[in-house]
Structure 1
Amino acid sequence: MLPDRPPRISLERADEPQHPRNLPVADPAQQLIASMREEMEEFRKSVMASLPRVKLPIKRSRASTIADTPFTESITSVELLRKFSPPDMRLYDGTSDPNDHVVHYKYKMMSMALSQHQWEAGMCMGFGETLAGPALTLFINSSYRSIGSYQELADKFVGHFASSCGLEKTTDDLNSFQQRRGELLRNYVARFNKERISIPDLHQPTVVEAFQNELLADSGFYKKLTKFKCYNLDQAMARAQVEIRWENDKRNKKRDPTSGRQEKKGPKSPQAVQGFRG
């Protein structure tokens, strides 16, 4: 029989750290589960934020920090002016269109005395003070150090409150602005322009065609535009202004019956006739 083998002696000490290749490898399944949990948590927040009567729970701050911040170090490390204060504007609570709030906030911030180096940090740091209610709670609950630019902040903000966004209008919506019977041309033009400015990327020939087609077919202005085509909206608006001035002048004359009437000369008195002859 063969002799028993001697026991193998390990040369590694128990207190020495193991080689990285001996460390346990992260399980892909566990990573997938953790990722799915994060996505479900984000989805839960967005659903709760869309319900005005539901309040989101505020997370407790990390023990190692004074207060959590959703911004990365590239934002928080920028030193702003001591007198810097966010713009005075209506607070957003999540019930109106978030795009309008973002545009209004950017316009207000353009008047702030911020250098190019401070602009990105100022836009991010001041945004939270324009929020209220569920919108502010959602902002506070943002993941730690998850936002590195204002564009990223605006995209996440609009995405969370997408249910409050208005439907994007197209050029086809102008085809529903027919001039009413008895409506003045200036009122029709005002309604048309109000709708027109809310439509992005307008196609000029299509807008001019919609403006003309929605006029009353028996109106004089419609006949003029039919005879003499307009190739862009500026030409159509210029002709409309001329027609509106004529329309206003015609209406003013109807109100004042004495306008444009020549004074009637009565028969001359005998004394005047005699004086003339003498």
Structure 2
Amino acid sequence: MLSRVPGLPPPLEKAAPDSYAYSPFVDTISVVAMPKGFTNPNMPLFDSTIDPFDHISQYKQKMMTVTAVGHVKEACMCKGFGSTLPGPAFRWLVSLPNSSISTFADLVNAFTQQFASSRKPQKHTGDLYRIVQGANETIEEYNTRFNNNKVAVRECDVSTTVEAFRRGLHQESDLYKQLTMHPCYSFEVV
């Protein structure tokens, strides 16, 4: 009767005698012993404001230091991933069906699908035209800000990028005038 009262958590379920063995990973992953000296990667926890692809990329980069090969490496990648997930993300991982993950790729696919709403929109070359030099911003500060945004653009045509940079400059600046009079097609010249 209490389970029908809105706002109350559902009644506690009794754990099955073998529930310690429940794992979202298949046996070929869950029974692998972690290598001696293995430590979980030291990295920011996923808080659902991070793009899941960025989190996966950082995790993979950190896990490159694990000295394991073959199925042991696969098991380390899968088993270690939970240490980067707090709260709701961790609850999602442990609620996956028993033995539903057989590879790290399966885990990545499930994770990115579950947290797809946290993806950041992909930037395009055209977005660089929105970056303009601020009223009191030096050329060096503008250049730094422009470059920080430019690295987020996956496919970046150099001549279009240089043109976007030029258009964002103050029109009274010497650099703007130089780039207008003598167009260049490489940032090495700028």
Q: Same fold (TM over 0.5)?
A: yes
Which residue does 1:132 correspond to in 2?
86
Alpha-carbon displacement from aligned partner over 1:29-82 (angstroms, at most 9, x marks no partner): xxxxxxxxxxxxxxxxxxxxxxxxxx9999876554532111123323444313
The answer to whether residue 164 in structure 2 is matched with residue 239 in structure 1 is no
TM-score (norm. length: structure 1): 0.58
Please identify, of 220-229 and 183-192, the stretch whose mean Cα deviation from structure 2 is larger: 220-229
2:164 partner amino acid: A
- Which of 96, 112, 126 is 1:142 aligned to? 96
Overall identity of the aligned pairs, in %: 36
Q: 1:118 to 1:212 in 2, by over 3 A?
A: same
The answer to whether residue 112 in structure 2 is matched with residue 162 in structure 1 is no
In 2, the alpha carbon distance for the partners of 1:58 and 1:224 equals 73
Superposition map of 1:101-112 within 5 A: 101-112=55-66
Give the deviation of 1:171 after TM superposition: 1.4
TM-score (norm. length: structure 2): 0.82
Alpha-carbon displacement from aligned partner over 1:156-189 (angstroms, at most 9, x marks no partner): 1121112222222211211111122342110110
The answer to whether residue 23 in structure 2 is matched with residue 73 in structure 1 is no
Superposition map of 1:1-278 within 5 A: 63-64=17-18, 66-231=20-185, 235-236=186-187, 238-240=188-190
Q: 1:152 to 1:58 in 2, by over 3 A?
A: farther
Unpaired segments of 5 or more residues in structure 2? 1-8
Instruction: Tell whether the 8 Å contact from 2:124 to 2:153 is kept in structure 1 after alignment.
Output: yes
Alpha-carbon displacement from aligned partner over 1:134-163 (angstroms, at most 9, x marks no partner): 011110000111111112211211211122
Q: 1:95 to 1:221 in 2, by over 3 A?
A: closer
* SS in structure 2 at match of 1:224: helix
Q: 1:190 to 1:201 in 2, by over 3 A?
A: same
Which residue does 2:3 correspond to in 1?
none
Please identify, of 56-65 and 109-118, the stretch whose mean Cα deviation from structure 2 is larger: 56-65
2:113 partner amino acid: G
Unpaired segments of 5 or more residues in structure 1? 1-54, 241-278
Give the deviation of 1:91 after TM superposition: 2.3
